[in-house]
Amino acid sequence: MLCHLFLWVPIGLCAAVTGWADSSPVQEDRVAIARQRVTPILIQRFAAAGLPYPVSSIFFRVHKMEREFELWARNDNDGSYRLVQIYLIFGASGRPGPKRREGDRQVPEGFYQIDRLNPKSEFHLSLRINYPNAADQKKSDPAAPGSDIYVHGGQRSAGCLALGDDAIEEIYVVAQDATPPVPISIFPARMLDSGWPEQAKSFPDQIDFWNTLRLGYRFFSEHRQLPIVAVDEGGNYLCQ
């Protein structure tokens, strides 16, 4: 599992929620309708990956440049993670590189968790990423690092990840059925591809940071297990 000391941050513009997920009757209707539609789809997707549905252990991995949102899962408390589905990211703003301040329109990069499910999102359904985490608190603007970063429905986003309404219903229901918090790792690109070193050279100011991400990326790619991730005093990721 991921080993971070995370800062809990309040929800702002995207509507407050209490607990893992809001349970008011109106919102339950929205989620219940989504669940009825996507459960047969999820059963088929997981079966194709050789897994039952539901499982408690899931993991999301994001490739920003490729606009890929991956769903991984494994048998409860046993086995390696298996790729279940890759969803297209319709909307995301910014350039390769981490989020460092409020209003920079950047999608964060690093090792995170989904810490809230929001059924009353203006973007249909949404899942909150626990930015800023322990690393971001060290490296981002101390006065205004930004907050309220979500994976949500719709097709447009500024600093968040928009997957479209159909995909967000699947992601939301899977996360609701899993054991919280759900880990999510966000990378600038596929970091083992042969073209990655050349892509990284276009952003020399990010190479040192990306090298710390790449250690965790390589570990998961080789072992299909989540690395143990710590944060040093400078806000750098330490992966093993």
pLDDT value of position 113:
98
pLDDT, one tens digit per residue, over 136-164 is 999 999 999 999 999 999 999 888 999 99
What does pTM read for this prediction? 0.88
Residue 23 confidence (pLDDT)? 52
3-class secondary structure, 229: strand
Residue-level pLDDT at 197: 83
Strand 237-239 vs strand 68-74: parallel, antiparallel, or unpaired? unpaired
List the alpha helices (DSSP H) in 84-195.
134-139, 165-177
Contact at 8 Å (CB) between 240 and 228?
A: yes
What pLDDT, on the 0 to 100 scale, is given for residue 25?
53
Phi and psi at 198, nearest 5°, equal -70, -40
The CATH architecture to which 25-239 belongs is Beta Barrel (2.40)
pLDDT in tens, 183-196: 999 999 999 877 88
Domain boundaries, the chain: 25-239
Positions of the chain with pLDDT lower than 70, given as ranges: 1-28
pLDDT at 12: 31
Q: What's the mean per-residue pLDDT of the chain?
A: 88
Nearest alpha-carbon partner for 92 in 9, 200, 216, 188: 188
**Quick one: tokens of 151?**
């994976």
